Structure 1
Amino acid sequence: MGIVEEAHNVRVLGSGEQVIVLAHGFGTDQSVWRHLVPHLVDDHRVILYDNMGAGTTNPDYFDFGRYATLEGFAYDLLAILEDQQVESCIFVGHSVSAMVGAIASITRPDLFSKIVMISASPRYLNDVDYLGGFDQEDLDQLFEAMRENYKAWCSGFAPLAVGGDMDSLAVQEFSRTLFNMRPDIALSVGQTIFQSDMRQILGLVTVPCHIVQSVKDLAVPVVVSEYLHQNLGGDSIVEVMSSDGHLPQLSSPDIVIPVLLRHIQHDIAA
């Protein structure tokens, strides 16, 4: 097993000519795709991996400088695709990974036939004529809560992000993967994501993008999906689902999996 494969716990499942890469968001790991994977492996080669900093990765590999920007994660993605000898893939990115895929596609558009973006946002902070969902004061309080008592913060944040109570399996699952992260790494990654502003690069993305969004999402207002649609450089399409929460593939699989399969299988023009 090579260093890239080992560092990111890369798993390749199924077989088929079409490669599908599944990339998870903040606070989760590749287990977040467990409802989707069974529908893909019969006909596709599915590549799963963990973002550096996820609780399932070796914290010794986490470079605070490299991952102070989303580009660090994009370089990792390109390294994984090269390591797996991928010539073209359908990239399914959740939350921050949707933007990571977009960044990587600017450098190597040939590697991506389409990007399916789930709960994606180019900027979480509100700005003049832009609703991101958070004010700086909100984020400062969030980071302070993470610093003071990470376990307590996880317990409070998980139900808000998922959109359910602590009894729900999806909330328990997200709490588990969130709590698995080393607190200082979680804070660093959280700051990188929530303070990022990718609006200026959207026009450089030429790969077709399918934007899939929950109607109610604590982290991403619905208007953000329309902003992406209007500002991406290539063809794009938006679908707002009746699901609730930032991790709909985990919390509302009955609603979300059929939508994702449709976007994976059909192109925008179709």
Structure 2
Amino acid sequence: MGGGNAVSNTAGGGGSGRKLLEILNVRVIGSGEKVVVLSHGFGTDQSAWNRITPFLQRDHRIVLYDLVCAGSVNPDHFDFRRYTTLDGYADDLILIIESLNINCCFFVGHSVSAMIGILAAIRRPDLFLKLVLIGASPRFLNDRDYHGGFDQGDAEQVFEAMEANYDAWVRGYAPLAVGADVPAAVREFSRTLFNMRPDITLFVSKSVFSTDLRGVLGLVRVPCCIVQTSRDQSVPISVVAHLKAHLGGRTTVEILNTEGHLPHLSAPALLAPVLRRALLR
């Protein structure tokens, strides 16, 4: 757990911010007045955006970073106490934006990062012009009148499979998550999953499955664009309707005519124009 505490006080001045920029491999590329922060989802790292950035960097300054759980970050920095909930990740995001002296930005978050962006925007709406939420879900578990896609038993099976044989789990999960028949995307997603330390992957999975942000969606005042594929094994289309109905800000929906949970890996040419449109304000 080591160095996680080094950045746990987000109220601390520039020192903790500079340290965090280093730990999370923060990079700024591209040019233009508008700033867009790209935040990757579970099992990937910032390289997941490699096929998207060429479409955006002419008109935008792009901020890329790795979530602290990513395999590209020294696992000593993963503080199991701090990252029990998504709040620690939201604090990191806010500190990155502040440390780069960004007054206001667009935010594109995939999967769990969509929820991290929502928490950050509730806390600091002044920092965000718009949230673009790709494959977002406020709760992955089914509830009485809510279909999140997974029963508690499904989640327990996932955890057991991870613990029993991580390699076998990755080989089974990666093609399911990618969905579309794009072997290069499956290879890429498998690579970044294998880079993660298995105990951290399991811990993050449990945290994500225990997250329920349905109750705070109405507190979001920033405009949102929900981007979803027509068939996503992780997020049923009913979740999109729930988000649209409950997010507090002006919300639009874009359905991509492809399948899978990682369109930035499997269908970048389809996703990029949708992102460019969403980032026009």
Q: 2:243 aligns with which of 215, 228, 234?
A: 228
1:72 equivalenced with 2:88 (yes/no): yes
- In structure 2, the partner of 1:7 is 23
Displacement of 1:257 in angstroms is: 1.4
Helix, strand or coil for the counterpart of 1:115? strand
Displacement of 1:164 in angstroms is: 4.0
- In structure 1, the partner of 2:170 is 154
How is 1:1-270 mapped onto 2 (pairs within 5 angstroms)? 2-164=18-180, 168-265=183-280, 267=281
- In structure 1, the partner of 2:4 is none
Helix, strand or coil for the counterpart of 2:279? helix
Contact 1:243 1:256 in 2 (8 A): no
TM-score (norm 2): 0.92
Listed one character per residue, the Cα deviations across residues 130-152 of structure 1 (whole Å, up to 9, x for unaligned) are 00000000000001111111111
What is the root-mean-square deviation in Å for CA atoms of aligned residues? 1.1
**Structure 2 CA distance, aligned partners of 1:195 and 1:156?**
23
Which ranges of 4 or more aligned residues in structure 1 deviate by more than 6 Å? none
Displacement of 1:155 in angstroms is: 0.6
Helix, strand or coil for the counterpart of 2:129? strand
Displacement of 1:177 in angstroms is: 0.3
Contact 1:30 1:48 in 2 (8 A): yes
TM-score (norm 1): 0.96
Displacement of 1:195 in angstroms is: 1.7
Helix, strand or coil for the counterpart of 1:67? coil
Displacement of 1:242 in angstroms is: 0.7
**Structure 2 CA distance, aligned partners of 1:21 and 1:199?**
24
Helix, strand or coil for the counterpart of 1:254? helix
**Structure 1 CA distance, aligned partners of 2:22 and 2:97?**
14
Contact 1:53 1:59 in 2 (8 A): yes
**Structure 2 CA distance, aligned partners of 1:237 and 1:22?**
19
One-letter amino acid of the structure 1 residue matched with residue 138 of structure 2:
P
**Structure 2 CA distance, aligned partners of 1:199 and 1:243?**
26
Gaps of 5+ in 2: 1-16
